[in-house]
Amino acid sequence: CIERLKRIVANGPRKELPCWIELQAARTRKPIDTTVAIQDGRNIEIQLNSSSTSEEVCQDVANDIGLKDTYGFSLYIRLYDKMWSLGNSGEHVLDAISQCEEEMRRQGRLEKDTPWSLSLRKELFTPWHESKLDEVSTDLIYRQIIKGIKAGEYVADKDDDYIQLAIMHYYIKFGSEYSVENVTKVVNECITTQLIESKSRTTWTQFISSAHKEVNQSMLCMVRELVDIARKKWAIHFSKFFEVTMMSGPPLPKSRFIVAVNWTGIFFMDDRNRQLHEIPYIAVKKVQEKRYGLTFLCLLSTITGEYVLKSPEADKIVTLIENNVEGLRQRSVFATAQQDSSKSDDPLFLVCKRGDLLQVDKEKSAPNESCFIATNKRTGSSGAVYKKILLFLPTVTEPTSEILTGKLLLTLQEQLNPKQDKRKVSLALNPVQGEETVTIFKLFVPRRSVSGGRQGHKGGSREKLWIVSREPLKQPLLKVLVNNSELSNLACSPLPILKYMGDYPIKHVRSPVELTDQIFGPATKHEELRDEIYCQIMRQMTTNSNSLSIERGWQLMWLCSGLFPPSWDLLKHTRCFLESRPRYPLAALCLERLQEICRSAWRYEHYLETKILRRLEILIILILQNIVEVTSTTTIGDMRISIASQLILNSPEGYGLYLKTLTKVTVSMEEDKYFFDSLKITSDVPKKKKKGKEGNGTNLPSLVLFKRKLWFNVNPGKDVKADLTFHFPQERSRYLRGYHDCTKEDMITLGGLLFRVKVESDMSQFVMIPKMLKDLVPADQQKIMSPDEWKKHIISSYKQQSGITVDEAKIDFLKIISSWPTFGCTFFEVKQTCESSYPATLLIGINKQGVCLIDPETKVCSIKSTIYFYFYSSLSKGNSFQMTIGTMFRGVTFVCETPHVSDKL
């Protein structure tokens, strides 16, 4: 244990619970023996323990096979057809195995049968990669590329590319001697099955045969060339991917995207692998990591602007980019002159101007000397140049003419000679007397007042932007919105902030809900408006002497700080604004909400918050009378976990929250949605009222339900608390509605158990059995016997079960039901008119086994669950949906009607 403790301290704590193989190893006190597959077909035996990391495993494999150039080789884990990288640093291998076992449990399978496997693959290249440095590394990469081409992992745009690589593979494997049989083998190894089927194997064989020619290169050189071709062609496939949210920076089509870092540069990609933006390393000025609370930020400064990216892996992004930039700079022979250099009295010195591109000959310069020998690419002359005036560019290739003719070389000098950015000008916020002065960068539009000064005065007097005003804005406060007419109109009209705070007269009284919808609604569609809203609220509260207006302004700030954060540029000034007003109770609460929303995704505003914002905490009573506190950033998943914890359930998995309103049927609430956003979407928003009175609460949700939603891994008796609280009530209801197909003997046995649940040991209630049949026997089966016969059989069953408690009767009830194929099904009664061979009214049952269609009269399953259920089409209007059930060759399409469309999908 001491040795294990030392290793876990050195390698860092685990993030997952112990996996099954780890528990087996704990009993034997032996390491875990497994293998790692490498690309040449070998399996390398290794030993794992609880603290083994991907770095250790990669190093062990490298030592075993003689791999020296280990950079970019990562450990991968595969489960079925899914494979992901564990990297080659501090990721715990057994955590990944634990995640695989968790997926098996989710599918209702045993952990010990989890078919995970480990492999070593090339994930990243350095920008200065040289294939000749390590033959073992080059051979593994070559084999990975050939396998990847065959599997369709690496896809070429032209057939000629496949032919070129196939010919190279041929020479590597068989040499220059031609053979049709060997060409056929190469086709089978290099060309995907889809391409072979589209053009035939014979055609591909002819292509490669006709292109075959003598190549005067050794096999080793051919391997290197193939690797270099693939490295350049499929650079994006050899990338490290990170999910990020852009907090601020130059405009992009999306704020949430994927950052791909590879040997060529930094790429911003959308979820469909479309490129949004590209940043070559030569354009990178600086990259650093910053932490704000629990939010991790990557600050990427480039010649086109600074990007602030939020990501839990910000440290890895920064480290990877830094290593590539600094590595390129150290190996670079291209530099830019930071100042003019001219020594007319010494012909040995190079004449150059600030910004000239110089190619440096490092081999002819001694390390301890103060000069380099360089060639001026502009003039073509060579000579000595002082090292101190050179800034080496992060590139191993000569910069293109596009870069040279641009502003890159001059802009890059700011890295070593930072000067005050002339574009940043401070502007006082005019704070309330006695409070701290806050400054903000020049985000605002400087403008002249058209009134209040002499007409002849040039330009008039400058308008005071950052003080309260009861006049409507003619244009937005932020410069970025001025040139966008659509956003500019949304930012200035229809004066909702002034109206909400009471600073602008209105003819008809509007409800606060109506006004807050106008204030925050546009920002849910246009992120560019978020900063404008913050600025307008802060502006209206500055030097404001109206106490009622100030109170309502704080209400708006409280709502706003729980919906979305300001941009990174405005965030620190917003915090300073709040911190400088400690005498207002809501200021501290706004700070807390702002910090919380910075860690979360921004959300929609909900009218319930507007109605109760003075309470500052919200209590929702659930069906089980458990009290749960809900804040602005509480998600449905958070509530599910909190309720399961309060109820002391074994696990929150499989449960769901349902909302039932007075005008809508019960609707399942999505896990990743905020609770208030779910109310916004699923409930009825109060309508405008002519007299301006708010709703009396009739539109609020009438009931929030917590119940079992997914029935994976439900074994009666395993979690008694869940069985008694959820499983029994839900299954009893389905049973009594007549959804299951069961025998008379089962109904008698279950009737005796349900009778015990209802009366416990009170035998005097026997006479009441005929009147209690609706609570003991399925509704559609009560007529198969007379009430007296049911009474006789249920009493007999009850007496046979003597000695058990009510809770034990509930568990026994579930154990009997659980053996039926329809156990755990969610049933929907639907009407269909498309397929005449099926009843007009159908019962659709959905559980972990699949989907089955049941005749409500006979309980016969029309379509077995083993048939593929392969397509859902989009919802049509009303309460109807369309689905297709069947095989790929024959399917049955239904258009069904049910009020439970959302739940069913």
Task: Give the 3-state secondary structure of residue 222.
Answer: helix
CB atoms within 10 A of CB 506: 13
The residue ranking higher by pLDDT, 111 or 659, is 111
pLDDT score, position 122? 95
Per-residue pLDDT for 311 more than 60? yes
Give the whole-angstrom CA distance, residue 610 versus residue 593.
Answer: 15
Cis, bond preceding 512 (omega within 30 deg of 0): no
Going by C-alpha positions, the residue among 363, 653, 340, 689 that lies closest to residue 513 is 689
The residue ranking higher by pLDDT, 732 or 495, is 732
The residue ranking higher by pLDDT, 552 or 695, is 552
Which of 61-75, 590-604, 888-902 is most confident? 61-75
Yes or no: say if 231 and 238 are a contact pair by the CB < 8 Å rule.
yes
Where does the pLDDT of residue 64 fall: very low under 50, low under 70, confident under 90, or very high at 90 and above?
Answer: very high
Per-residue pLDDT for 430 more than 70? no
Give the whole-angstrom CA distance, residue 171 versus residue 150.
Answer: 18
Q: Which of 194-203, 669-678, 772-781 has the lowest mean pLDDT?
A: 669-678
Per-residue pLDDT for 214 more than 90? no
pLDDT score, position 838? 75
Where does the pLDDT of residue 708 fall: very low under 50, low under 70, confident under 90, or very high at 90 and above?
Answer: confident
What is the DSSP secondary-structure string of 87-98?
Answer: TTSS-BHHHHHH
Per-residue pLDDT for 46 more than 90? yes
631-651: average pLDDT: 76
What is the DSSP secondary-structure string of 125-194?
Answer: --TT--GGG-HHHHHHHHHHHHHHHHHTSS--SSHHHHHHHHHHHHHHHHTT---HHHHHHHHHHHS-HH
* Tokens standing for residue 167: 């010919």
Give the whole-angstrom CA distance, residue 603 versus residue 527.
Answer: 11
Burial class (CB within 10 angstroms; exposed 0-12, middle 13-18, buried 19+) of 30: exposed
| 227 Cβ neighbours under 8 A, 6+ residues apart | 131, 138, 141, 142, 145
pLDDT score, position 243? 92
Give the whole-angstrom CA distance, residue 427 versus residue 441.
Answer: 7
Q: How far is CA 894 from CA 331, 834, 863, in A?
A: 66, 6, 13
For 321-368, write each residue's pLDDT tens digit.
999 999 999 999 999 888 888 776 777 888 888 888 899 988 876 556
Yes or no: say if 642 and 652 are a contact pair by the CB < 8 Å rule.
no
Bridge partner residues of 331 (DSSP): none
pLDDT score, position 404? 58
The residue ranking higher by pLDDT, 65 or 211, is 65
Give the whole-angstrom CA distance, residue 727 versus residue 654.
Answer: 11
Give the whole-angstrom CA distance, residue 293 versus residue 277.
Answer: 29
The residue ranking higher by pLDDT, 639 or 429, is 639
* Tokens standing for residue 525: 């569609």
Where does the pLDDT of residue 683 fall: very low under 50, low under 70, confident under 90, or very high at 90 and above?
Answer: very low
The residue ranking higher by pLDDT, 73 or 1, is 73
Going by C-alpha positions, the residue among 278, 249, 263 that lies closest to residue 321 is 263
pLDDT score, position 690? 43
How does the average pLDDT of the chain come out, rounded?
78
Where does the pLDDT of residue 100 fall: very low under 50, low under 70, confident under 90, or very high at 90 and above?
Answer: very high
pLDDT score, position 474? 79
Supply φ then ψ for residue 727, to 5 degrees: -60, -45
Which of 236-240, 622-626, 738-742, 802-806 is most confident? 236-240
Where does the pLDDT of residue 544 fall: very low under 50, low under 70, confident under 90, or very high at 90 and above?
Answer: confident
pLDDT score, position 830? 81
475-494: average pLDDT: 77
The residue ranking higher by pLDDT, 433 or 311, is 311
DSSP conformational letter for 687: P
Torsion of CA 465, 466, 471, 474, to 10 degrees: 40
pLDDT score, position 340? 85
pLDDT score, position 140? 95
Give the whole-angstrom CA distance, residue 77 versus residue 114.
Answer: 12
pLDDT score, position 246? 85
Yes or no: say if 263 and 124 are a contact pair by the CB < 8 Å rule.
yes
For 552-581, write each residue's pLDDT tens digit.
898 888 888 888 888 877 888 888 889 888
The residue ranking higher by pLDDT, 665 or 230, is 230
The residue ranking higher by pLDDT, 844 or 621, is 844
Give the whole-angstrom CA distance, residue 474 versus residue 451.
Answer: 14
pLDDT score, position 367? 58
The residue ranking higher by pLDDT, 480 or 719, is 719
Q: How far is CA 857 from CA 738, 819, 838, in A?
A: 10, 22, 12
* Tokens standing for residue 731: 């299954």
CB half-sphere exposure, 614, CA atoms < 13 A: 3
* Tokens standing for residue 212: 């075959």
pLDDT score, position 661? 65
Yes or no: say if 794 and 769 are a contact pair by the CB < 8 Å rule.
yes
Query: Which strand ranges, in their side-by-side order, compose the sheet holding 655-660?
Result: 667-668, 655-660, 703-708
For 791-823, write each residue's pLDDT tens digit.
999 999 998 888 899 999 999 999 998 888 888
Decide the pairing of beta strands 618-621 and 627-630. Answer: antiparallel
Give the whole-angstrom CA distance, residue 708 versus residue 827.
Answer: 14
Per-residue pLDDT for 461 more than 50? no
pLDDT score, position 86? 93
Give the whole-angstrom CA distance, residue 542 versus residue 577.
Answer: 10
749-767: average pLDDT: 89
pLDDT score, position 234? 92
Q: Which of 239-253, 449-463, 704-718 has the lowest mean pLDDT?
A: 449-463
pLDDT score, position 411? 46
pLDDT score, position 905? 44
729-739: average pLDDT: 88
Give the whole-angstrom CA distance, residue 594 versus residue 588.
Answer: 10
603-610: average pLDDT: 50
184-190 contact pairs (CB < 8 A, 24+):
189/146, 189/150, 190/146, 190/149, 190/150, 190/162, 190/165, 190/166
Yes or no: say if 586 and 621 are a contact pair by the CB < 8 Å rule.
no
Per-residue pLDDT for 455 more than 70? no
Yes or no: say if 384 and 349 are a contact pair by the CB < 8 Å rule.
yes
355 torsion bin: left (phi>0), alpha (psi -120 to 50), beta (else): left
Give the whole-angstrom CA distance, residue 846 versus residue 827.
Answer: 7
882-905: average pLDDT: 56
Q: How far is CA 343 from CA 149, 391, 419, in A?
A: 58, 20, 27
Give the whole-angstrom CA distance, residue 844 versus residue 822.
Answer: 11
Angle at 760 between CA 758 and CA 764, to 5 degrees: 90
Per-residue pLDDT for 75 more than 90? yes
Q: Which of 298-302, 442-446, 499-503 has the lowest mean pLDDT?
A: 442-446
Going by C-alpha positions, the residue among 248, 310, 297, 254 that lies closest to residue 480 is 248
Decide the pairing of beta strands 390-392 and 427-428. Answer: unpaired
Residue with tokens 């605002």: 444
Query: Which strand ranges, in their side-by-side order, compose the sheet holding 73-79?
Result: 43-48, 32-37, 116-122, 73-79, 82-85
From first CA to last CA, the distance across the chain in angstroms is: 50
